[in-house]
Amino acid sequence: MDAKDNESRKAADIESVTAVLRRVVAENGREHVKGYAFAIVCLLIVAGTTAFTAWIMESVINEAFANRRADLVWIICGSIFVAFVLRGFAGYGQAVTLSKIGNNIVARYQKRLFAHLMTLSVGYFNEARSARLAAQINQNINGVRDVLNLTVTSLARDLVTLVALLGVMLYQDLVLTLIVFTVAPPLLLGLRYLSKRLRSATKDSIILNSHVLGSMQEAVQGIAIVKAFTMERELQGRIQSSIDQAERRANKIAQLSERNGPMTETVAGFSIAGVMAYAAYQSIYGGVLPGAFFSFVTALLLAYEPAKRLAKLQVQMERAAVNARMIYEILDMQPHQRDKPGAGALEVTNARIEFRNVSFAYGDNPPVLRNLSFVAEGGKTTALVGPSGAGKSTVITLVPRFYDPGNGEILIDGHNIADVTKSSLRQHLAYVSQQPYLFEGTIRDNIRYGRPDATDAEIEDAARLANAHDFILAQPQGYDTPVGENGATLSGGQRQRLSIARALVRNAPILLLDEATSALDTESEAAVQQALDAAMAGRTVIVIAHRLSTVVNADKIIVMHAGQAVEEGTHESLAQQPGGLYARLNNLQAAPNGLLSSQE
């Protein structure tokens, strides 16, 4: 039973490598067929000139040294010179061509991977560690290129060279060739065993290295927290432990990868020693001219390198295939939130938002929303308040379809958002999250992300509305000042105001504010709140606030608790309800040192 399982696993492994190769060729072969054809011609020239060098050695030895034919020496030497020149230019041509093709393949797959990642849901990125994902992609992306390049160089150069040199060896001496072939089967069996062990070690190494690089990236990004909580020693210990594991695995891979060296050298030594003994016997006792022997030995020595590369091919292909498979695992991942077949574009007129018996849970966790129903009237402001864990931020994430509800419907102007395309839905939305995120580039670039076709004047108007214009002009280069990694050169309040300006420049009919003023000081909050009050006019706004004072002017306030809407009304009506949750929260905030946290 175990033997059968081992055989099936071997067959599956071979099939897996073959399947990866077929897919890589199918996806890239046609695109680069001319380049590969040129590279193959160059490789064939390399193979032919190498075999020619071995073949002509018989004439060199016999005619120049044994027969002393001076008239043929110049012809022989000239032909050798031409062969080496041709091989040099052909080697250059194939190397440059394959490098260009490989670089293009890497670039194409990088673009394809990023485009595919952009189609995956927010839930996927919440589950996958972004730093480790980036590190894994960076390590594995070259696997696709290596699969093709190894195949082309191995078949067109090494295999053809080896076959041509074997032809020279057979032509010169059949018995010597058979002596060489007797050592091939045990060598192949040994290499097959090594490749099997290397496969699992390579995958483990890739995962360990991605953990190391991801942990380093996260530590650098959170360096302020690391230093504030004196986590340096603890993080250093964890990362060093991961590095040690990765080092041990890399050493194991090195041992397995290079173990074919002693095997091939031992086999080669045995073969050459046997050839030498036989040739010496023939020359001493048989009177055979040495030309054929030198030609055979030259062919044998020249065949050693391509034979060694071919012997390592399976090991290298296993490593490249493991990398390529891990890239294809990402590319083959299907988006969870595909647009329905025939989904149309959303047309917004009044921008009325309605939740009908909506329930939602993150994965297998307990439900966050339970049969939630409410209406956000078009052109008005609806505020969501409540204690931490009530589900307020989840409501905000469901409107743009970052997630889809488990049950119930979300409608905009009577259209179920599940029946329209996500792109058309999000074109009508502007969003400000709890944690403002800025991208690499200038302040102007970050605001323009809200609407790529916005003019400089519109960007500056949005910045004024968000109370950001003055501090922007105080920067060294004004609107053209680089923001650093995630706005590292700016304060939290400044980053939040740029995030608000990005939402305002979008000029969308629906505005989602997830505690948009939470990172601002009291003075900035008051100024931004005034700007938001003006910006919210005529728009449908759903706003979450942890300070009730910021939503007293909302047209409607929805009080949430345990994933349900338990109260609804205006600030005045809710604050006067005896024993109501809103009234209690309002009294807590009105009390000295009162604080309501709604971070979710």
CATH number at residue 573: 3.40.50.300
Q: Tokens 């040192």 identify what position?
A: 593
Q: Are residues 266 and 180 part of one domain? A: yes
What one-letter code names the amino acid at 126?
N
Q: Are 323 and 139 in contact (CB under 8 A)?
A: yes
Looking at 129-183, list the stretches that DSSP marks H as alpha helix, in order from N- to C-terminal side. Answer: 130-140, 142-152, 160-172, 174-181
CA distance 596 to 600: 12
User: At 318, is the pLDDT very low, low, confident or very high (cuts 50, 70, 90)?
Assistant: confident
Does residue 596 sit in helix, strand or coil? coil
Alpha carbons within 13 angstroms on the beta-carbon side of residue 254 total 6
CA distance 57 to 63: 10
The pLDDT of residue 2 is 45
Q: Assess if residue 101 is contained within a domain.
A: yes
Q: Are residues 323 and 373 part of one domain? A: no
CA distance 495 to 439: 11
Q: Are residues 32 and 140 part of one domain? A: yes
Q: Assess if residue 595 is contained within a domain.
A: yes
The pLDDT of residue 587 is 82
Q: Which of 331, 364, 397 is the last residue of a domain?
A: 331
Q: Are 557 and 566 in contact (CB under 8 A)?
A: no
Please give the structure tokens belonging to residue 92: 């250059």
Q: 58 exposed, middle or buried (CB, 10 Å; 0-12, 13-18, 19+)?
A: buried
Write down how long the chain is: 600
Q: Are residues 189 and 121 part of one domain? A: yes
Q: 171-178: long-range contacts at Cβ-Cβ below 8 A with a sequence spacing of 24 or more?
A: 171/55, 172/58, 172/292, 172/293, 172/295, 172/296, 172/299, 173/292, 173/293, 173/296, 175/278, 176/275, 176/278, 176/279, 176/296
CATH number for the domain that contains residue 40: 1.20.1560.10
The pLDDT of residue 10 is 42
Q: Are 541 and 368 in contact (CB under 8 A)?
A: no
Pairing of strands 407-412, 510-514: unpaired
Q: Are residues 144 and 59 part of one domain? A: yes
Please give the structure tokens belonging to residue 261: 């060296």
Q: Assess if residue 66 is contained within a domain.
A: yes
The pLDDT of residue 593 is 44
Q: Are residues 235 and 301 part of one domain? A: yes
> Domain tally for the chain?
2
The pLDDT of residue 600 is 39
Q: Are residues 71 and 18 part of one domain? A: yes
Q: Assess if residue 535 is contained within a domain.
A: no
Please give the structure tokens belonging to residue 460: 């500056």
Q: Assess if residue 512 is contained within a domain.
A: no
For 242-283, the pLDDT digits (tens) are 788 877 877 877 776 666 667 666 766 777 677 677 767 766
Q: Are residues 372 and 231 part of one domain? A: no
Q: Are residues 247 and 383 part of one domain? A: no
Please give the structure tokens belonging to residue 309: 């590369």
Positive or negative, the Cα torsion across 107, 113, 114, 115?
A: positive
Q: Which of 266, 300, 331 is the last residue of a domain?
A: 331
The pLDDT of residue 21 is 78
Average pLDDT of the segment spanning 102-131: 79
Q: Are residues 283 and 394 part of one domain? A: no
Residue 12, pLDDT > 50, answer no
The pLDDT of residue 448 is 92
Q: How many helices (H) and strands (E) does the chain have?
A: 22, 10
Q: Assess if residue 3 is contained within a domain.
A: no
Q: Assess if residue 446 is contained within a domain.
A: no
Q: Are 358 and 569 in contact (CB under 8 A)?
A: no
For the chain, what is the mean pLDDT? 79
Average pLDDT of the segment spanning 348-357: 93
Does residue 484 sit in helix, strand or coil? coil
Q: Are residues 167 and 38 part of one domain? A: yes
- What would the DSSP string read from start to end of 430-471? EEE-SS----SSBHHHHHHTT-TT--HHHHHHHHHHTT-HHH
Residue ranges with strand state E in 336-392: 353-360, 369-376, 381-385
Residue 22, pLDDT > 60, answer yes
Q: Are residues 258 and 161 part of one domain? A: yes
Positive or negative, the Cα torsion across 39, 42, 48, 50?
A: negative
The pLDDT of residue 524 is 65
Please give the structure tokens belonging to residue 424: 């058309």
Q: Across 123-137, 225-239, 262-276, 440-454, which has the greatest mean pLDDT?
A: 440-454
Domain assignment of residue 203, given as a range:
14-331
Average pLDDT of the segment spanning 581-589: 83
CA distance 571 to 586: 9
Q: Assess if residue 467 is contained within a domain.
A: no
